Structures are given as C-alpha cells and as structure tokens.
Amino acid sequence: MGQTKRLSLFIRYSVTLLGATVSLVWFYRLGSPCKDNDGCDITDKFVDMSLPMQFYHRASSRLCCYINVSHDPKCKKLLPDPLSYPLTQPKYTLVIELRDVLIHPDWTFKGWRFKKRPGVDRFLKKVAAPMFEIVIFTSDDGSVAFPVLDQLDPKGFITYRLARDVACQLEGNCVKDLRYLNRDLSRVIVVDCNKDSVRLQPRNLLLLSPWKGNDNDQTLDNLANFLGEIASEQVEDVRDVLSFYNQYKEPLQALKNIIHFQRKSYQDKEQIKESEPLLGKWCPSFLQP
C-alpha cells in the first residue's frame, strides 16, 4: 500500500514538474529577442528594461498577436469583387443564416434530419438576382452545411456560401464580421436568429425568431415581400430601415400590427400620411392600406 502511494506521489510530482518545465520553455521562447539572418539579437523597444521584464513584455505582446490572429477570419476578402459592366451586379447583398432560418435540424433514431422551412423555394426564387445577391453565411461547419445546401438549392439561386471557418472567433463565439465581405455595408442585409453572431455590425441585422419546425409558418413569404419593397424603393442605406424595425422582437409582425393600428385610427390616406412618424423613417408600401 505504501509503495502504491509513493508511486502515485511520484507520478503527480513528475507531471507537475513536466508541466512547469514546458511552461517555462514556452515562456522563454515567447520572450526571447528576435534574431536576424546571422543569428544576432534584434534590438526592440523592450531592450532598456530589466531582463525579466523584457521577457515578460515580449511574451505578452506576442501572445496578444496570436490571439488577434485567431480572432480574424482566414481570408480578408470573403467575396470576390462585384461584377462590372457588361455583367449585372445586384444592388443589394442578402446574407442569410442557414440553421433555424431556412432549415431546422432534428435528431431521429436514423440520425440528423433537416427540415425545410415553409416557402423556402418561393423565397429564394423571388429575392434572387437581379434583386439580391444571396449569400449563405452559416455558423455551422461547411462539411455539414454545404451538402444540405446542394439539396436545398438545386437551381442555384444562392450566389455564394460561407461557413464558420471564415468567421471570427470572439470570446468563444462565432461572429460574422461584415467588413470582410467586400461589399458596401449600406446595402447589406443580414437575416439571422442570433444577434450575437452579427454583434460587430448590429445595424445590418434583421433579427428573426428561430424557426423550430412549425408547418404553418409564413415568415419567409412576409420576408420576401419586405425585401422586395426595399429593392423596389431603391433604399440607399438599408441600415436606417433595419435599425428602426429591429427594436421589435418580431419585426415583420410588428410592421403589420402598426399598419393595422393606423387603419383603425384614421379614415383616409391623408390622415394616415400625417401619422407617418409613428411608422418610422420608412414603411414598405406592401403594408400600406
């Protein structure tokens, strides 16, 4: 029994010593001065500090660089340059999350099953080019999402596909940084059910509630009409429109409720027009009486 205890202590101390040694070696490598081609130390801004402080500040600086690199996407330009004449580039870019916006995953005894949201086919056909450039940007891995998209969009209405490997990782979360889309953000609309995934550019987000498989859902039909009106009205900065309606938990339903209230409160179009401040800066004509 005594030998077993001594062996256990020996293993524990050995592992601790090994871990400490590895940490010290790693810290030494991080804190060591850079070398030139001849193997000589390169003078840096920490050279006037004491030796321990030099190592500490070099290690901290390099560690921060490593963390920042992991936060940035692998590619600085996620989409190719917009098409130029004589080709036609849609004025607006529609970025859509896949999970719980267009499909809902469900686990069965046969494995994962992906259910299409009602109206997906009509939605993609209606808002596709030349109206919108459709980009799927999902928080799922491409190995999972892309085969699903092959089945979901056999006619190729979706222009580009992006997955979590090109997103940023901030505080352990997958974040879609729209700066790297290579598009004018005043004309980019993101449809998602997770506001944290677009936390860096919240004004570009149209937030929907996650779809959980309801067969009577009509959200995509309403969304198609809403987006169609933005395109037909030639809105110059979609962020002004989205910011106002995003204050509601259900933006599309809120639009209908506002119009319904106005219809009850006013008897003719002139009175409704005078009440436009209640509707925000812009109200799609398909919701007007």
CB 123 within 8 A of CB 223: yes
Q: Are strands 168-170 and 160-162 parallel, antiparallel or unpaired?
A: unpaired
Q: Is residue 284 part of a domain?
A: no
- Say what the pLDDT of residue 24 is: 72
**Mean pLDDT score, 5-31:** 72
| pLDDT of 69 over the 80 cut | no
pLDDT tens sequence across 187-199: 999 999 999 999 9
Our CA angle for 98, 101, 103, nearest 5°, is 65
The two structure tokens encoding residue 73: 């996407």
| pLDDT of 125 over the 80 cut | yes
Note the pTM of the prediction, 2 decimals.
Answer: 0.69
Q: Which residue's structure tokens are 């004589």?
A: 86
Q: Is residue 64 part of a domain?
A: no
Least confident of 144-148, 204-208, 228-232, 275-279: 275-279
Q: Is residue 282 part of a domain?
A: no
How many angstroms separate the CA atoms of 28 and 41, rounded? 14
**Mean pLDDT score, 1-30:** 71
Structural domain that includes position 177? 92-247
Q: Is residue 201 part of a domain?
A: yes
| pLDDT of 244 over the 90 cut | no
Taking the alpha carbons at both ends of the chain, their separation in whole angstroms is 87
Q: Is residue 146 part of a domain?
A: yes
Q: Which residue has the higher pLDDT, 68 or 251?
A: 251
CB 60 within 8 A of CB 54: no
Q: Is residue 17 part of a domain?
A: no
Q: Is residue 70 part of a domain?
A: no
Highest mean pLDDT among 13-17, 60-64, 111-115, 119-123: 119-123
- Say what the pLDDT of residue 220 is: 95
The CATH number assigned to the domain holding 206 equals 3.40.50.1000
Q: Which residue has the higher pLDDT, 263 or 179?
A: 179
- When divided into structural domains, the chain yields a total of 1
Q: Is residue 230 part of a domain?
A: yes
